[in-house]
Amino acid sequence: MTPIISIVGYSDAGKTTLVEKLVPALKRKGYRVGTIKHSEHESNFDTKGKDSWRHFASGADAVVVSSADKTVTIRKQENRPGNSHSQLSFLEKYLSDMDVIIAEGYKNAGFPKIEVFRSQAHATTPVCINDNTLVAIVTDVDLDVKAPVFGLEEAERLAEFIAQTFLSS
């Protein structure tokens, strides 16, 4: 099974920014990296009126849009909303050829978590401080925690931690 690591934290903590730094750091180490972005809001991933939208609107359970350089899959959700662990487990099969999957969000899923906690988040404690799946914290404040702590600009060091912890065979 491909390891899944969730990047979690409060809104506007810098989760996407960390993913943007972490993916190239892992790629430089030679790993194939897939990402999954959790969205609480219903989204249309293609444009109304376009052929792919029309296929999906006609009732197709899945639509694949393929071009010379990209493939996009749009599927009806088969899981019950709110069960983030089973949803993330279900999505893993689409990225099974990756070495690691970095998920943004899914703080309630039972996968390893790296929390982004910034002083600007207006919170006093990390959201996953008591979660036994918390494996690291990326922060700009001093925290007394059991998990390893990384600075906001330490993506290379965090990538090395991920490689040693989850990807060494």
**Structure confidence by residue, pLDDT tens digits, 47-83:** 788 888 888 888 887 788 888 888 888 877 765 556 7
pTM of the full structure: 0.86
Domain 4-43+78-167: assigned CATH number: 3.40.50.300
Walk across the sheet containing 149-151 and list its strands.
33-37, 100-104, 4-8, 113-117, 134-139, 149-151
Residues 38/84, Cβ–Cβ less than 8 Å: yes
Q: Return the pLDDT at 90.
A: 78
> Of 126, 139, 121, nearest to 13 (Cα)?
121
Domain layout of the chain by residue ranges = 4-43+78-167
Separation CA 76–CA 83 (nearest Å) = 16
pLDDT digits (tens, 9 = 90+) for 104-113: 988 999 999 9
Helices 15-28 and 155-162: crossing angle, nearest 10°?
A: 70
Average model confidence (pLDDT) across the chain: 88
